[in-house]
Chain A
């Protein structure tokens, strides 16, 4: 049986192989003791290299102002004696400029040709003012159909000027009429409805505005309910995912309900954040002690938003979100607790909530303990993809002990061997991240401006 090469083993450990390759490696390792030992050795070497390099830390780094570097670059251009690089060189710039013009004209012609073919030409645009009553009449219905976050509509509607938006709106309506597929009709109807709403917000003097039915208090709830009805059957999805969707839908609904004309021009991201703040006000956030640094505690300073998608919650609520007992650091000062979605870029499972515990150590440095409960499964991989086994109820710890039969212990040993080793990395911000998975199915990370040894030492005390 051919054994695995070292490159494949390290690529597997680093989470940098394809799904097919990962499965092949896991299957081989589960049946080959020699490769299993080599995988252990590779993990040890990887950890050791990271630990050694963590000793090579520079002292305090003082970055000069960006303007200073720009001045250096400008001075270098002057010293070179030629034209500043910002000016294009003849005749390349002329050709590039001409090519850009041709491309723009070509695209515009094609778009216009396609638009005329589908909508009847410029006459439709000229008739736009008559469309306003139609937009107003459809707005109430559009509000019911609007689902998901406004960012989705923003992505579909890049135009910013009312005239362009009107043309886009006309195209969308034409598409809606021409669409034979029922699902496509709903989709274009949704985007048209959102665009209609933006048009109306951009024209506050529109006479039809008065005929707009006032949003009721039940709109947000009805919208959230309709979102859930369209989603796959609730029984097929975990409860945490349902709660997440309800949370985000309610954010979008409550934000849209109270949005004034001026706020309609805010980017969708700001509205989503505002909605989170509003919703989070209904959920009393946990406020720990004031930070020793003299400023607000991390949770207060960041507000309840933190990173986009994270809100402050009580520790008990965080346990409910996590679906398992919270891992904590009892010797540090807890400043706040946040819950948010898993980020696959961080190696987390996207379908499960992540809990962040914000701490402060004796030196006033802030450390974050990030945790996600993945459960214990026979299929172990990187990136938090090992799912399948039922989770322990809150208040109970998953039991992995001597009472298991021999086959289960062998499976557990295999899982232990196949579990990705702890990794110490440095984020672009300069914060160190120590990430590991424990035997009970928790994916944990410690993030802070501490040395690797300090983070490892803290990790040993996480319970």
Chain B
């Protein structure tokens, strides 16, 4: 398959994957473009899986260089709202996004990447290839990722409600 065609078909998906992984859209686009530039040099036989594998490695290396705190600040500054919404709704949505991101951050890197790849439409075989897993362990990986993410979000959501309730009591 022509790489330019792969670019047209999968660039958005790769950026979304990296955005969910890093929390920074600008950085996600840079990493995605870097992955494609490397693909031009290497001409992989299975470009889609190769691109996501390279992108995963780039994001991992990127994460080791940056601090978590700085990444979250960047997220808050760079997150663009697609359409104007009432302030309270926008704030609520932003807080929900932060909780989701925090829940995702509680997963191990392998579980998180497996879950994100599944959401991008990768099959079990492709996930196994990208993450260098055995095929039989992909189901277990996704199972663990989903259950932990659900538990983490539930806990964070309950904490947020508790904090919001205490603030309301204090205000009154």
A residues bordering B, Cβ < 8 Å? 5-11, 14, 16-17, 42, 44-46, 48-50, 52-53, 55-61, 63-64, 66, 69-70, 72-73, 76-77, 85, 425-430
12 pairs, A vs B, C-beta closer than 8 Å:
A45-B147, A45-B149, A49-B150, A56-B19, A56-B20, A61-B15, A66-B7, A69-B7, A69-B40, A426-B13, A426-B119, A428-B9
Taking CB atoms and an 8 Å cut-off, the chain B residues in 1-51 that contact chain A are 4, 7-13, 15-16, 19-20, 25, 28-29, 33, 36-37, 40-41
- Tell me which residues across on chain B come within 8 A of A16, comparing CB atoms: 123-124, 138-139
Q: Give bound CA distance, A66 to B40, whole Å.
A: 10
From A10, A60, A428, A429, B146 is in contact (CB under 8 Å) with A10
Chain B nearest CB, measured from A95 CB (Å): 19
A356 CA / B7 CA spacing, docked (Å):
28
Pair count A-B, CB < 8 A: 132
From A11, A45, A70, B40 is in contact (CB under 8 Å) with A70
Say whether B143 contacts A10, CB under 8 Å.
yes
Contact partners of A46 in chain B: CB under 8 A: 146
10 A-B pairs closest in CB distance:
A7-B139, A7-B140, A11-B139, A59-B80, A73-B40, A6-B143, A16-B124, A45-B146, A10-B143, A58-B19
Contact B146 A426 (CB under 8 A): no
State the CA gap A138–B29 with chains docked (Å).
Answer: 60
CB–CB B121/A45 < 8 A: no
B20, B37, B118: the one contacting A76 at CB < 8 Å is B37
Docked CA distance A188–B85 (Å): 67
A61 with B29: CB separation less than 8 A = yes
Main secondary structure of the interface of B (DSSP, over half): helix
Of B54-62, B64-72, B93-101, B161-169, the one touching chain A: B93-101
Taking the closest CB of chain B, its distance from the CB of A17, in whole angstroms, is 8
B143 touches A42 (CB 8 A): yes
Chain A residue contacts of B96, Cβ below 8 A: 55
Q: Are A66 and B4 in contact (CB under 8 A)?
A: yes
With A8-B139, A49-B150 in contact, do A59 and B97 touch (Cβ < 8 Å)?
A: no
Residue of B nearest to A45 (CB): B146
Nearest residue, chain B, Cβ from A50? B119
* Closest partner residue, chain A, to B140 (CB atom): A7
* Contact assessment for A53 and B36 in the assembled complex, using a CB-CB cutoff below 8 Å: no
Q: Give a binary string over B109-133; 1 marks a CB under 8 Å from any A CB, 0 the rest.
A: 0000001101111011000000000
Q: Assess whether B25 is in contact with A58, with CB atoms less than 8 Å apart.
A: yes
Docked complex Cα distance between A57 and B10 (Å): 16
Known: A7-B137, A73-B41. A63 touches B7 (CB 8 A): yes
* Shortest beta-carbon distance from A67 to chain B in Å: 9
Which residues from chain A contact B19 at a C-beta distance below 8 Å?
A: 56, 58
Q: Are A58 and B16 in contact (CB under 8 A)?
A: yes
Would B143 and A55 count as touching, CB distance under 8 A?
Answer: no
B79 contacts the other chain (CB 8 A): yes
For the complex, give the distance between the alpha carbons of A61 and B13 in Å.
10
- The chain B residue sitting closest to A56, CB to CB, is B20
The answer on a CB contact under 8 Å between B116 and A53 is: yes
Q: Which residues of A contact B20 (CB under 8 A)?
A: 53, 56
Instruction: Please pick, from A6, A52, A429, A430, the residue contacting B100 in the complex, using a CB distance under 8 A.
Output: A52
B150:A10 contact, CB within 8 angstroms: no
CA distance A69 to B38 in the complex (A): 9
The interface residues of chain B lying within 8 Å CB-to-CB of A61 are 11-12, 15-16, 25, 29
A361 to B120, CA, bound (A): 25
A70 to B96, CA, bound (A): 39
Give every chain A residue within 8 A of B79 (Cβ-Cβ).
Answer: 59
Q: A49-B146, A63-B7, A69-B7 are in contact. List 7 more A-B contacts (CB 8 A).
A: A6-B143, A55-B97, A56-B19, A61-B12, A66-B4, A69-B33, A69-B40
Decide: B136 and A7 in contact? CB cutoff 8 A: yes
